[in-house]
Structure 1
């Protein structure tokens, strides 16, 4: 049985590169001027969502105002703690959300890997039971907004990833799929979409992140799912 890492411990062990909140990603956090004539979209997620945010905005330019939370969404329990603040007072039309890659990550303070990732000797950030509890709470809160909700599946864990086990993302995606079906929430299967071109779009061998072209590819699918909602 895996040792479970206190979520605060996961946050402390994560590298700044892994957070994807440096200057090179500042455009993702530069939210647009709100045009009352256009629907307001909120993107919630970790570094993967940070990577595709700018291109989602470009693809929906003139059709929707695309905002994102002001930070890396990290793990689901972090989302539970911060969701009220992120949602604010704005009337959201569509909320596209994901948690998962942080939750399935094993970390070890002694590891020399980036972010102290270590799937052999590290501690798991969130068990399936803890993840389900957090996602249940998140969905309950998001439903209160009356926005159209789109759950975005967690993207693939490639072979040789230092802190995550191949297939765990599928298991955790299954947990939220059950919740989404129960509540009638739309599902954006970004996992399957990424798999179609994974060797071409992954940043490097064993890395869960993507190239610039890869993020543009993901953004196309995200924008397509959002466009389908606002066109109805």
Structure 2
């Protein structure tokens, strides 16, 4: 076989390999969020195991202040295809240093982590940073339900903070997965109680279905 023929065959072989690798390249999804997202992410990972590579930021993303300090580290140098993010549950939480509640929560005597105006400003900055560092498709997920008797959070604040976040996302033309209303029903059935914003394992699985359904429209 002549050298030219060998070269052509080798070229075709490499082209097929590269084409196959490209076709089978799984999109990379980064989820940034608090303990609620940490709870549903394993179910999202499992569902997309054959379709996408799903990662969560290291640890708890907490509030927007934590986000501003860590966002560049969380994004890293990875070429993300989709970045889903959420802040809010920690931002609207009231805390007081003398409170005996877990996390010093105290909505009577405490101070909110960030006011709505501060939350809005922080979110706007975070979105600008993410868009500058990544060409990924972005998704914002609204804050989930807060029970009336939660010691550090007001039930009515959630929709106010969600509305502020939606305005920021509209400004930046970012998709919003609004799961608040569904989370209310899920929490009533699978929540950890009238004083806890968290969910049972089954509750997180139900929340994951809302995340999965939306992600499938973007992948």
TM range (shorter): 0.7 to 0.9
Query: What TM-score do you get using the length of structure 2 for normalisation?
Result: 0.87
Query: What TM-score do you get using the length of structure 1 for normalisation?
Result: 0.82
d(CA) in 1 for partners of 2:187, 2:204: 11
* Equivalent of residue 42 in structure 2, options 54, 58, 62: 54
* Equivalent of residue 179 in structure 2, options 178, 190, 215: 190
Cα root mean square deviation, aligned: 1.0
User: Residue in 2 aligned with 1:135?
Assistant: 123
Q: Which has the larger radius of gyration?
A: 2
User: Residue in 2 aligned with 1:225?
Assistant: 214
* Equivalent of residue 135 in structure 2, options 143, 146, 171: 146
* Contact preservation (8 Å) 1:59, 1:220: no
Correspondence 1:71 to 2:67: no
* Contact preservation (8 Å) 1:60, 1:227: no
List alignment gaps of at least 5 residues for structure 1. Answer: 1-35
List alignment gaps of at least 5 residues for structure 2. Answer: 1-23
Ranges of 4+ aligned residues in structure 1 off by more than 2 Å: none
Correspondence 1:122 to 2:97: no
* Equivalent of residue 149 in structure 2, options 160, 171, 179: 160
